[in-house]
């Protein structure tokens, strides 16, 4: 089962004290198994573009916690967080594309997301990075060289677009 991000609020890109308070209330509720309250607290933050809240909603939809299990909704929230460079969401998107959960199964796109996640996990997240690399290698083992090259091109294009957005 996937878990929501347990992230120190100091590291979260939340603006102001009120959103951090809401995120914390959601996290406490989630840890208690009170998924309805977690959803209530995180939904507005996710809609405001807070990546960790988007990721956590993806986890809830992926696991059917406080909501009907809905892989397409999970992919939607993971995709929004992944677009902001959130490595856990990128990793989970790799899983979704590799398995065809909520999306059409696509090894090229799965490899793209695994590779991006592996490159974005921080040094203290070496186990996550290694897992992303293992999954990437499993998927690439069933791909053609052309498919692998296509995935590598997608990684380069995503990275260039992301870096361009960050400079603005």
Higher pLDDT, 13 or 85: 85
For residue 112 the two structure tokens come to 């793209």
CA distance 164 to 141: 32
Contact 51, 13 (CB under 8 A): yes
Query: What angle, rounded to 10 degrees, do the helices at 87-99 and 51-63 form?
Result: 30
Alpha helix positions (H), the chain: 17-32, 35-47, 51-63, 71-82, 87-99, 107-120, 126-140, 145-167
Give the tens place of pLDDT for each residue, 51-74.
Answer: 999 999 999 999 999 999 999 999
Question: Which of 121, 120, 122, 114 lies closest to 152, judged by CA?
Answer: 114
For residue 152 the two structure tokens come to 């590598």
- pLDDT for 17 equals 43
Query: What angle, rounded to 10 degrees, do the helices at 87-99 and 107-120 form?
Result: 160
Give the tens place of pLDDT for each residue, 1-13.
Answer: 666 654 433 344 4
For the chain, domains (ranges, CATH) are: 16-84 (1.25.40), 85-168 (no CATH)
pTM of the model: 0.88
Contact 62, 88 (CB under 8 A): no
């Amino acid at each position: 089962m996937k878990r929501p991000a347990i992230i120190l609020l100091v590291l979260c890109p939340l603006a102001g004290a009120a959103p951090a308070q809401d995120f914390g209330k959601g996290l406490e509720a989630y840890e208690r198994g009170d998924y309805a309250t977690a959803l209530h607290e995180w939904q507005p933050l996710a809609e405001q573009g807070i990546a960790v809240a988007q990721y956590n909603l993806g986890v809830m939809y992926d696991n059917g916690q406080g909501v009907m299990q809905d892989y397409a909704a999970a992919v939607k929230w993971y995709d929004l967080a992944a677009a902001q460079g959130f490595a856990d969401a990128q990793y989970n998107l790799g899983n979704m594309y590799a398995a065809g959960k909520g999306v059409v199964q696509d090894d090229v796109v799965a490899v793209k997301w695994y590779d991006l996640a592996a490159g974005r996990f921080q040094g203290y997240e070496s186990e996550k990075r290694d897992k992303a690399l293992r999954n990437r290698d499993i998927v690439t083992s069933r791909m053609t060289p052309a498919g692998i090259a296509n995935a590598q091109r997608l990684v380069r294009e995503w990275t260039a677009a992301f870096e361009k957005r960050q400079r603005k």
